[in-house]
Amino acid sequence: MRNARQKRGDWGEGVARGYLETKGYTILGSNIRSPFGEIDVVCALESELVIVEVKTRNSTHYGYPEEAVTAHKQHKLRQLAQWYWNVHPQYRTVRIDVIAILVEPSGESHIEHIPNAV
């Protein structure tokens, strides 16, 4: 059974995938497990592989969503990106983006896409 935090994360990842598709990205997968952890969303934009970390928050009480991508998390994201790129070398380049989603009490959500965040 998924808890509220996991359900919010799943919802945010769905929002992120929809957002990326509207921007011309091709979604290759989501929740991909590796020896280093899990990749939220993997997509491509032309010949570039894009690893996406999605952070969703209901408030800024503990900071903005993107602030949760700590130095430790950035290190893990680099490992994940290298692992995936080694398995899929057909892409010329790889980058790591962050999509931060903040949901207001009214239900309105704000999406910030940070390319090359890591």
Q: Return the half-sphere exposure (C-beta side, CA atoms, 13 A cut-off) of residue 24.
A: 4
Q: Tell me yes or no: is domain 4-114 CATH 3.40.1350.10.
A: yes
- Residue 103 vs residues 36, 71, 87, 108: alpha-carbon distances, Å: 29, 24, 35, 6
Q: Residue for token digits 């799943």?
A: 10
> Please, which residues have CB within 8 angstroms of residue 84's CB and are 6 or more apart in sequence?
32, 34, 39, 42, 49, 51, 94
Task: Render pLDDT for 109-118 as a digit per residue (tens, 0 to 9).
Answer: 899 999 999 9
Distance separating alpha carbons of residues 19 and 16, to the nearest angstrom? 5
Task: Render pLDDT for 56-90 as a digit per residue (tens, 0 to 9).
Answer: 998 888 889 999 999 999 999 999 999 999 999 99
Percentage of the chain beyond pLDDT 70 is 100
Indicate whether this model's pTM tops 0.85: yes
Query: Is residue 19's pLDDT more than 90?
Result: yes
